[in-house]
Amino acid sequence: MKTTNLISEIRKKNSFLCIGLDVDLDKIPQHLLKEEDPIFAFNKEIIDATHSLAVAYKPNTAFYEAYGLKGWKALEKTINYLNENYPEIFTIADAKRGDIGNTSTMYAKAFFEDLGFDSVTVAPYMGQDSVEPFLSFEDKHTIMLALTSNKGAFDFQVKVSEGKELYKSVLETSTHWKNSENLMYVVGATKAEYFAEIRKIVPSSFLLVPGVGAQGGSLSEVCKYGITKDIGLLINSSRGIIYASQDTNFAQAAKSKALELQLEMKAIINDL
Amino acid sequence: MKTTNLISEIRKKNSFLCIGLDVDLDKIPQHLLKEEDPIFAFNKEIIDATHSLAVAYKPNTAFYEAYGLKGWKALEKTINYLNENYPEIFTIADAKRGDIGNTSTMYAKAFFEDLGFDSVTVAPYMGQDSVEPFLSFEDKHTIMLALTSNKGAFDFQVKVSEGKELYKSVLETSTHWKNSENLMYVVGATKAEYFAEIRKIVPSSFLLVPGVGAQGGSLSEVCKYGITKDIGLLINSSRGIIYASQDTNFAQAAKSKALELQLEMKAIINDL
C-alpha cells in the first residue's frame, strides 16, 4: 500500500486507529474455544465489528508463534481475510525482526510476499544492512523501533553518545539509508514529551504509537507534539479494545471501545 | 539443557562447533525437491552425517518463515528429530526476538515450550523487561546480541556513551538482570580483536560466534582472545558446511567440512 492511500483512508474514516490483534487463548471468550480455529474466529469477529473505525490492524507474531503451527495458520488466515475483505486496511506484522542482510531478505519475503502484509516492524540494533533488505520492497513499509513504550527503553535507547540519545541516532542515521522513504518508526505513547524532539528529526514520517490505554499513554498528549498535516500517526490499542468483554458480545464491546478512540481522534483532526 | 551438559559434550567430542541450518530451497541439492518436505529431508541428512562432530545446531527462523506454514512445519520436524535422536545436542533457535514483557513471554513459550529448543537468540534494544521473561525458564538459555558480525554492527553497537561502547553497556547491564546465569551472547568472529575486551566483562559466559568461514572470521584469532577454561565458545558455520556440495553426496561433503573445523578445534583444545 502507498502512503497516500493510508492518508486517504485516515481522512475518510476520521481515524488513525490501529487495532492490535494479540490473541491469547486464556483471554478470549471461552465459547470460541469450541471453534475449529478459535484464534481466527476471534479475529474475524473483531475485524468485522471494528473495520469502519480503524485504518490498520497489527497482529503481534509472538501470540501466533506461541501456538506453533496452529498459530501460524491462524495468522495466515487473518491476513488473508483482511486482504480479501478489507484491502483498504493497512496491515502490520509486529514481528520486530532483524538479521544480517541475506537473512533479513528471507524475513522480508516471509512477511511481504508469503503472508502479504503491508508492513513489518524491525529492530535497529544490527544497523543498516539488517534493515535495508526490507526497504527495497515497493509499496511496503518498514517500521523501525525508535523509542519503545516499555520501562526497558531507558536501558539503552536513551544513552547519550556525542551529545545525542541512541534513539535519535537511530532516527537520524536511518534517514540516510536506501529507500528510507519506506520507513516508519515505533514511538511509545508513554513518552509523549519526546515527540517534539522526534518531529525535529523525522518531521513527516508516520509513527506507530503503542502504549495508549493499558500502558497508560495519553492520546491528546501524543497528538499535541506528534501530529502532522497528514496526521502522521497510527495509534495502536490492543488489550483495551479486543478484551473489552469476555462475553458473547465481545465484538460489540470492542467496537464501543474503538468508537471512543475514533471519536477522540475525529475531534483532534477537526481541531487541526 | 544445563551448561554443564554442554561442556561435557564439548569435552567428549573435542568440538565446539555449531552448525547453522539455514535452508534455502534455491541452494539445496535439486534431487531433494521431489521429497514431500525437502527442507526437513535436507536437515535430516546433514544432521545424521555431522552430529558426531558438532555440539549444537542452529536453525535461523527466517529461512523457515519465508516458506510459510510449510517452513514452520519443517522447523518443528527438525527440532523434534534432534530432540528424539540426539538429545545430547544443544539446540538454538536463531530468532533474534524481543518485545515488551508479556509478549516476550509468548516468544519464550513458542521456542522453549512449544518447539522445545534449548536456547533462543534475542535482541537487546528494548532492554531488561524484554529479555528477563526468557531468562526465567529453567535449564534454557537466552543468547543476546552483543557485537554482531555484519557491517551494520558499526552503526550503533560501537557508539560510545559515558566512555563505553554500546555493546559493552549491553554486556555489563545484562549481568545484573534476574537469572542472568542463563545468558549467553552473540559476538561475531569478524571482530576477533574485541574478544579480549569482552572477556573482561563476561569472563566465563558462553559466546555464540557466527562469521567464521563465509563471512571471513578466523577461528584461531577468536580462540586466542575468547576461549575459557570451559571453552566458553560455540563457533557457528552455516553456508560453509551445509552447502559444501549440491550433489547427492552433499551430506558427506558437509561432514568433511565439519571435520576440518572439528580437527582445528581439537588442536586448539589440546594446546590449552
Q: Is the pLDDT of residue A60 over 80?
A: yes
CA distances (Å), origin A91, targets A6, A111, A187:
10, 10, 18
Q: Is B96 a catalytic residue?
A: yes
- Over residues A154-179, the mean pLDDT reads 97
- Compute the mean pLDDT over every residue in chain A, rounded to the nearest whole number: 96
The partner residue sitting opposite A153, judged by closest CB among B63, B107, B127, is B127
Strand, helix or coil for residue A63: helix
Q: Is B111 in contact with B76 (CB distance < 8 Å)?
A: no
- Over residues B147-171, the mean pLDDT reads 96
d(CA A96, CA A147): 13
Q: Is A114's CB within 8 Å of B150's CB?
A: no
d(CA A172, CA A202): 8
pLDDT tens sequence across B89-104 = 999 999 999 999 999 9
High-pLDDT (> 70) share of chain A, %: 100
pLDDT of A222 reads 95
Locate cell 537520524: which residue?
A172
Domains in chain A, ordered, with CATH? 3-271 (3.20.20.70)
- The runs of H, that is alpha helices, within chain B are 3-13, 38-50, 61-65, 68-85, 101-108, 128-135, 153-156, 166-174, 195-201, 219-226, 239-242, 250-270
Q: Is the pLDDT of residue A107 over 90?
A: yes
DSSP state of B136: T
Burial group, residue B187, by CB count within 10 angstroms (0-12, 13-18, 19+): buried
d(CA B95, CA B62): 7
Strand, helix or coil for residue B122: strand
Q: Which residues of A touch B166 (CB under 8 A)?
A: 156, 159, 161, 166
Question: Which of A58, A65, A125 is most worth mutating to test chain B (most B CB atoms within 10 A of its CB)?
Answer: A125
> Amino acid identity, residue A112?
F
**Which three cell numbers, joined as nine digits, stand for A261?**
478512540
- Minimum distance, in Å, between the CA of residue A186 and any CA atom of chain B: 12
Interface of B with A in 166-185 (CB under 8 A): 166, 169-170, 173
Q: Is the pLDDT of residue A214 over 90?
A: no
pLDDT tens sequence across A231-265 = 999 999 999 999 999 999 999 999 999 999 999 99
- Compute the mean pLDDT over every residue in chain B, rounded to the nearest whole number: 96
pLDDT tens sequence across B183-232 = 999 999 987 889 999 999 999 999 999 988 777 788 999 999 999 999 99
pLDDT band with cut points at 50, 70 and 90 for residue A215: confident
Interface of B with A in 37-66 (CB under 8 A): 60, 62-63, 65-66
Q: Is A251 in contact with A33 (CB distance < 8 Å)?
A: no
Question: Which of A106, A112, A113, A242 is most worth mutating to test chain B (most B CB atoms within 10 A of its CB)?
Answer: A106
d(CA A65, CA B111): 8
pLDDT of B132 reads 98
Q: Is B166's CB within 8 Å of A156's CB?
A: yes
The partner residue sitting opposite B73, judged by closest CB among A69, A110, A173, is A69
Interface residue A123 vs chain B (CB under 8 A): yes
**Higher-pLDDT residue of A193, B63:** B63
The partner residue sitting opposite A76, judged by closest CB among B69, B97, B131, is B69
